[in-house]
A and B are shown apart, each in its own frame.
Chain A
């Protein structure tokens, strides 16, 4: 017996040692990659705190010799950057509200009522997910600019989200509502609760996790959108963060070329301000971020 167990133990031990070597290698790689992934951001932070021309020093300065916190207010003197931040916030908040409200209503309609053509309409809805937005871009542009006269207003960006809020959001709400036991609806009906009250008082409070998740996805969409503001908000005052950053770059005299004093540090400062809200929301609601992605990938 003893001999057998000894024989059996020897290779097991060797294997354990091998595993720990592998674990060390993998952990080292995890950390090295984390440094690599974080580095561009570190570099942006360092860059945003440098003085004029310090970005162009060879070899590069790995840290700001004298951190210039004033750069973050300096940006606003070059172009009204904080105004662009506000513009973006207004569009993002309104658009996200529209998307969440309308997609929850439509999701409720598809999940809880029987009506003629429901299946066909739902299939059409799902099919719109693969339609590239480029196909509808030009006619909607003509509609908004020439027919409705919505040039340089936030309407073209915000109004469509109130009309259904996109196939994906509707799909998520429908799936969620369909998972709620029907007994709850029946009980509410017996108590004299109409469909709209049921939606408002029972379904909405129950679906807070879905709402937060979608709100985050909508936020990201609007905050990062370039093409929308680029074609609809041509007035400099109406710019958002993305078009504002492009304007900042051209104002500073071509971002990566030198002209007199190089002002790229301000571009870095602007970039950091522009991405800060995304990062803050990510840290505050990380759980929902991850959850949203998994719902997209696994259910979608």
Chain B
């Protein structure tokens, strides 16, 4: 279109393209208006519920804002307080890190194992898949109750069974040493949920010719898993790892319901601290700073993973190009 504009035209032919162009620009304008109209709900929602609150919470994070008293600018004090003054902040950060470090790899391994078990010719596969999946649709409030009941130190089923074998079970949710592992077990109960399904889809996308070729070469089962399944599955593992870490950093409901952060703050996680600062202490300024620190931590972890992804994540299209 632009080229025809620059080429000189005989004067007699001028009106037609000009008319066409004007008509076309009217059509384009109309299209533009329709487009804006359809995305309007999101655009308004983004401004009112995302961008606006983001700007405001960033501002509040630099203020002393103890609701309902007005906010007062204090510079970086909230951030220095977190790292210097607030004793619960390092505790919450450590508890959360512990939880992320153990629950994410264990959860991924468990989900992958379940997916491998189901990725075979097995009778009643839909039934097993359903049974594995159900824990993940159980509301977390409910699963926290169920685990609290199963792992009750005195009369709970687990410890009673251990007692009948002459063993003494730990205090689980009531024990400083065991409360985080117990919460990790609770997370592992949901390993058969979405993460497993994503692995299963990834496994089923691996072309069977690769396995057939390896079999001709006499590769062992372990070798096939190591040299075909894992590399071919690495994009799926990467996706589950990134989303898993973000979700684990934000653990809240299970701890809030099962332990309320106890005993002795042993399960006091980051978002629990943020929630208490915001909702119990009404310390909006400091809570906003905590939220931004969490955002930065999550962003850093995600960026680091993206950076290292090239080293271990295998993308088929990359090799197909050379």
Contact = CB atoms under 8 A, between A and B. Distances in A.
Contacts of B163: 58-59
A163 interface: yes
A33 B145 contact: no
Interface stretch (A70-78, A206-214, A286-294): A286-294
Nearest to B56: A139
B43 interface: yes
B28 A114 contact: yes
A207 B75 CA distance: 51
Contact of B42 (A30, A164, A230): A164
Interface string B287-303: 11011101100110010
A296 interface: yes
Contacts of B197: 290, 293-294, 297
A81 interface: no
B187 to A, nearest CB: 13
A136 B57 contact: yes
Nearest to A140: B53
B224 interface: no
A113 B31 contact: yes
B160 A109 contact: no
Given A131-B295, A255-B145, A279-B137, A109 B49 contact: no
Given A43-B149, A245-B142, A275-B139, A58 B35 contact: no
Nearest to A108: B38
A223 B137 CA distance: 10
B226 interface: no
A40 B192 CA distance: 14
A33 B132 contact: yes
A282 B302 contact: no
Interface stretch (B79-87, B98-106, B151-159): B151-159
Interface string A92-105: 00000000001101
A249 to B, nearest CB: 7
A22 B143 CA distance: 34
Contacts of A296: 194, 198
Contacts of A38: 131, 134
B232 interface: no
Given A160-B45, A293-B198, A282 B132 contact: no
Given A29-B117, A59-B160, A135 B54 contact: yes
Contact of A30 (B45, B67, B122, B221): B122
B95 interface: no
A135 to B, nearest CB: 5
A49 interface: no
Contacts of A298: 198, 201-202
A22 B120 CA distance: 11
B34 interface: yes
16 contacts: A27-B122, A30-B122, A44-B142, A58-B160, A60-B156, A113-B31, A113-B38, A115-B32, A132-B250, A136-B57, A137-B278, A163-B44, A163-B45, A226-B257, A275-B142, A296-B198
Given A125-B42, A135-B292, A227-B253, 6 more contacts: A138-B278, A142-B67, A164-B42, A226-B252, A226-B256, A268-B149
Across the A-B interface, give the 4 residue pairs with the lowest CB-CB distance, nearest first.
A163-B45, A109-B38, A113-B35, A164-B42
